[in-house]
Amino acid sequence: MFRTGNHGHGRERGGPRRFGPGRAAALVVLLAAAVAPRPAHALRVTTWNLLNYIETNITSRQPKFRTVMQNLDTDVIMVQELKTSAAADSFLLNVLRASNPAKVWKNAGFLSLTESAIYYDSLKASVNIPTAINTGGPRQVYQLLLSPNGYAATASKIRLYSVHFKAGDPALSPADSLTRRVECTNLRGTLNNAPAGTNILMGGDTNFYGDWEGGYQRLTESQLDNDGRLADLVSMPGTWNQFAYRCYHTESPCLSGCVGAGGGLDDRFDLFLSSYPMGDGEKVDFTQFFAYGNDCNHYNENINQDGRNSAVPIAVADALHDASDHIPVVATIQLPAKIAATSQLDFGTCIVGAAVTRDVSVANAATLLPADELTYGFTPTAGLIVPSGTFQAAAVAPANVHTINLDTASPRALGGPLGIACDDVDSLSKNVLVSGTVLGHAVASLDSLSAVQAASVTFGNHPAQAIPDLAVRVHNFGWTGMQARLSVTNATLAGGDGRFSIVGGFAPGLVAGTAKTLSIHFDDTGATPDQDYQATLTITSADEPLPGGASEPDLVVTLHAFVSSGATATTEALPTAIAFLPARPNPFGARTALHYELPKRSPVSLAIYDPAGRRVRALAGGVRDAGRYDVGWDATDASGARVPAGLYFARFLAPGFIASRRIVVLP
C-alpha cells in the first residue's frame, strides 16, 4: 500500500454532524478507553488491515497474529488485504481458531474482489451470505448482515460493510483522493437505499487524511436521503496527522524497517462510521471504539518504543509492530434490552371493598453490557389499578417491583392479561396472565324472596303432646355465583321459660343457594294451657371468611307457642291471633288443605317451596279480611305439572308472622 510517512496536508473546516445528545463527552471516554481495562461486552466488532496476507509467505507473521488475537477480545473481525480464498482459510484455521479455542469462529465467506472476509464467533452471532458492492474503486465493498444471537427482530440486526478505499496522499496524488470520493459517493447511494432506521456499521482501511476529504464528507453529509448517512463517534476536524489526535492513529505501528509502510503511529486510516440509528442511545448502539494497542504515547514512534506500552502487554505490542502496518480498531456495540416479568398474577377470591395487592417484577434480561435500558409502562387493564408513567430497568441489575391493586369496587371475575408495553425489539408487549374473583357481600335473610331480618312465627294452638317442631330457614338472599356465601356462625334462644330448643343443637354452616334450616322444638311438658309462650331466636352470620368479609345484621325471630286447653271455639267468633295450621291430610296423594286464621284484615302470602328453598307454587296473596281460610293444593307447580313425590314446605306470611309446615307428597 502507498504510504508517505508522517506527512499530512489539507485545510481545516468544520466537521460533519455528530451523534445526538449525550455524546459530547465521548472523546474523553474514548481516550480513557485506550488505556483502561475494558469490561465484558455485549458485542465487539474489530476491523484490521492484515497487510498482504497470502498463504504462501505468511508463516513468519502468523505467530504475531495469534499473539494479538489471543489478547484481543472480539466477537466479529473484518479483515482487509486477504489475497486468496486459501489465505482466508489460513487466517481462520491458523490464527483465529488456534488462538481462541473458547470461541467458535466461522468465516462468513471470502469475496476476492473485495480482498476481505468477515469472521464471527457463532456463539455470539450469525450472518447471511455476503455480497460485494462495486463502488468504482480498486476493491469492492464487502457487505454482510449480522444477527446477534438471542434476538430475532430486524431492529437488532446490523449491516456490516468492510471497506478498503484507494490509497494515496492527496498532496502527492490528488487523483487518489478523488477516487476515494467516487467510491464513497457510490457507497452512500447504496446505503441510502437501506430502509429507514437500519443499523449500519462501516469499518476498514479508509485511507482518509482528514475530515476535509471528499469521500469522508460524502459518507457523513446531510443529503435529501439520509437513510444511509453515517456519523463519526468523535469530532476530529482538520487533518488527522497531528498530536491532538494521537489516540486514534492506526498506521503505522512501526517506525522503520517494517513489514509494510513505516513512519510510526500518525495516521487515522482505520476507523468505524455508523448510521444515526446506531447513535441515538437506544436499542443497537455504537457506544465506543479504540485503536487496539495505541496508548496515546507513541505519536510518530514504534508502538513498542523502548519496550513500553500501557495499553497492552509488551509482547502484544511487539506482535502488533511485526504483524502488519495497521493496528486493529475495536468497536463496542450495545445490544437491545430484553424483558423478563412475572408471568402470572393470582389475586385469589375476595369480597367487594377488600384491599388486595400483588407484586409484579420487571427486569432487563439482557445479560451482557453494554445493553440498552429497558423502557416500559403498564397498559390500563379492566379490574386492575396499575402504576402510571414510564419506567426503566438496567441490564444486569435487580428487577423493579411494582404493586398492582385489584379493583374491588364491584363484583367481577378476572381472566384477561395485564399488558406491559416495552422497547424489547422482539417483544413489544409482555402479557402477565391475571386471575381472581371479587364477590358481592352475602345477604342474611329469613325469606328467599326479600331481605327480611326480623319475623314472628308461631307453633299454633295445639293440644299437649301434639305440638310439631317448627322450621326456621336462613337464606343468602339474591345469591348468585358472584356473591359470597353466608357463614351462619351461631344461633341462641332466650326466654320462653326454657322450653324452646334447636333440634340436634346448632352447627355452623355456609349458605349459598340452599337455605340452612333450624328445626325448633317446644317442650310442652307441664306447660300452662292457653298461655302464649314467647322466646327470641337470634342468628349470627357474616360473609364467608375471605378478604373484605363483613358481619351481617343479626336475624331475630320471635317464637310463639300455645298449648290448647281443649275448649272448642264457636265458628262465629273471629280468631284472636294469626295462625297457620298443619295441612290435612298429610301425607297426601291428590289434594290437601292448608288453613290459616286472621284476627283482622291483613296482607298475606302462602306458597309452596321445595327443600332447596325454591318456590314451587303461590297459593294465596294479597289482602284478606279477618276470618278463617282453607286453601287447597293439588300437588302441581306454577305451570300445572305435577310435582315429584317428596318433602315440601308451605310458608305463610302475614304482618309480623312467618310460619312453615312440612308437607309430604305421595307418589
What residue type is assigned to position 452 of the chain? V
CA distance linking residue 96 with residue 65, whole number of Å: 9
Tens-digit pLDDT profile for residues 202-243: 999 999 999 999 999 999 999 999 999 999 999 999 999 999
Give me the pLDDT at residue 634, please.
87
Concatenating the DSSP letter of every residue in 410-432 gives S-EEE-SEEEEEE--TT-SEEEE
Q: Set out the domains of the chain in order of their start, with CATH numbers.
A: 26-334 (3.60.10.10), 339-439 (2.60.40.10), 444-665 (2.60.40.1930)
Confidence of residue 21 (pLDDT cuts 50, 70, 90): very low
Tens-digit pLDDT profile for residues 64-85: 999 999 999 999 999 999 999 9
**The three cell numbers locating residue 71:** 489478547
Confidence of residue 58 (pLDDT cuts 50, 70, 90): confident
Tens-digit pLDDT profile for residues 127-156: 999 999 999 999 999 999 999 999 999 999
The contacts of residue 347 (CB under 8 Å, 6+ apart) are 356, 358, 406, 414, 434, 435, 436, 437
For residue 99, how far is the Cα from the chain centroid?
42
**The three cell numbers locating residue 650:** 308451605
Residue 169 has pLDDT above 80, yes or no: yes
Residue 94 has pLDDT above 90, yes or no: yes
The contacts of residue 623 (CB under 8 Å, 6+ apart) are 601, 602, 603, 604
CA distance linking residue 206 with residue 355, whole number of Å: 66
More confident residue, 559 or 188: 188
Residues 332-338, mean pLDDT to the nearest whole number:
96
CA distance linking residue 360 with residue 457, whole number of Å: 55
CA distance linking residue 6 with residue 624, whole number of Å: 122
DSSP at 314: H
Query: Of 219-233, 572-586, 647-661, which gets the smallest average pLDDT?
Result: 572-586
- Residue 512 CB neighbour total at 10 angstroms: 16
- CB 522 within 8 Å of CB 467: yes
Q: Minimal CA–CA distance to 34: which of 300, 260, 247?
A: 247
**The three cell numbers locating residue 145:** 448482515
CA distance linking residue 274 with residue 272, whole number of Å: 7
CA distance linking residue 659 with residue 468, whole number of Å: 12
**The three cell numbers locating residue 253:** 505501528
Give me the pLDDT at residue 40, please.
54
Give me the pLDDT at residue 571, please.
45
Give me the pLDDT at residue 85, please.
95
Query: SS3 of 97, please?
Result: helix
Give me the pLDDT at residue 32, please.
36
- CB 562 within 8 Å of CB 462: yes
Confidence of residue 22 (pLDDT cuts 50, 70, 90): very low
Residue 660 has pLDDT above 70, yes or no: yes
- CB 627 within 8 Å of CB 574: yes
Confidence of residue 123 (pLDDT cuts 50, 70, 90): very high
Q: What strands, in cross-sheet order, belong to the sheet with 592-598? A: 579-584, 592-598, 627-633
Give me the pLDDT at residue 162, please.
98
- CB 78 within 8 Å of CB 142: yes
Residue 20 has pLDDT above 50, yes or no: no
Give me the pLDDT at residue 572, please.
53
- Largest Cα–Cα distance of the chain, in whole Å? 144
- The percentage of residues in the chain with a pLDDT greater than 90, rounded to a whole number, is 74
Concatenating the DSSP letter of every residue in 325-381 gives SS--EEEEEEB---EEE--EEEEEEEETT---EEEEEEEE---SSSBPPEEEEEPP-
Tens-digit pLDDT profile for residues 485-541: 999 999 999 999 999 999 999 999 999 999 999 999 999 888 888 787 899 999 999
- Rounded to a whole number of angstroms, the distance between the first and last alpha carbons of the chain is 114
If residue 192 lies in a helix (H) or strand (E), which one and from where to where? helix 174-192
Mean pLDDT (the chain, rounded): 89
- Residue 469 CB neighbour total at 10 angstroms: 13
- CB 395 within 8 Å of CB 371: yes
Give me the pLDDT at residue 23, please.
41
Q: CB-based burial of residue 379 (10 Å sphere; 0-12 exposed, 13-18 middle, 19+ buried)?
A: middle
- CB 27 within 8 Å of CB 229: no
Query: Of 91-105, 390-404, 444-458, 593-607, which gets the smallest average pLDDT?
Result: 444-458
If residue 47 lies in a helix (H) or strand (E), which one and from where to where? strand 43-53
Tens-digit pLDDT profile for residues 598-648: 999 888 999 999 998 888 988 888 888 888 888 888 898 888 889 999 999
More confident residue, 537 or 448: 537
Burial 346-356 (b: 16+ CB within 10 A, else e): ebebbbbebeb
Question: Model's pTM, two decimal places?
Answer: 0.75
More confident residue, 167 or 29: 167
Residues 17-36, mean pLDDT to the nearest whole number:
39
Query: SS3 of 481, please?
Result: coil
Residue 18 has pLDDT above 80, yes or no: no
Residues 588-603, mean pLDDT to the nearest whole number:
88
CA atoms within 13 A on the CB side of 399: 14
- Answer whether the bond into residue 417 is a cis peptide, omega within 30°: no
Winning range, highest mean pLDDT, from 181-185, 257-261, 588-592, 622-626:
181-185
- CB 402 within 8 Å of CB 378: yes
- CB 263 within 8 Å of CB 42: no
Q: CB-based burial of residue 464 (10 Å sphere; 0-12 exposed, 13-18 middle, 19+ buried)?
A: middle
**The three cell numbers locating residue 155:** 431492529
Give me the pLDDT at residue 523, please.
92
Sign (positive/negative) of CA torsion 613, 619, 620, 621? Answer: positive
Give me the pLDDT at residue 565, please.
62
Concatenating the DSSP letter of every residue in 258-282 gives -SS--S-B-B--EEEEEEGGGGSSS
More confident residue, 596 or 219: 219
Residues in the chain: 667
Tens-digit pLDDT profile for residues 561-572: 877 765 433 345
Q: What strands, in cross-sheet order, belong to the sheet with 555-564? A: 454-463, 555-564, 533-543, 486-495, 509-511
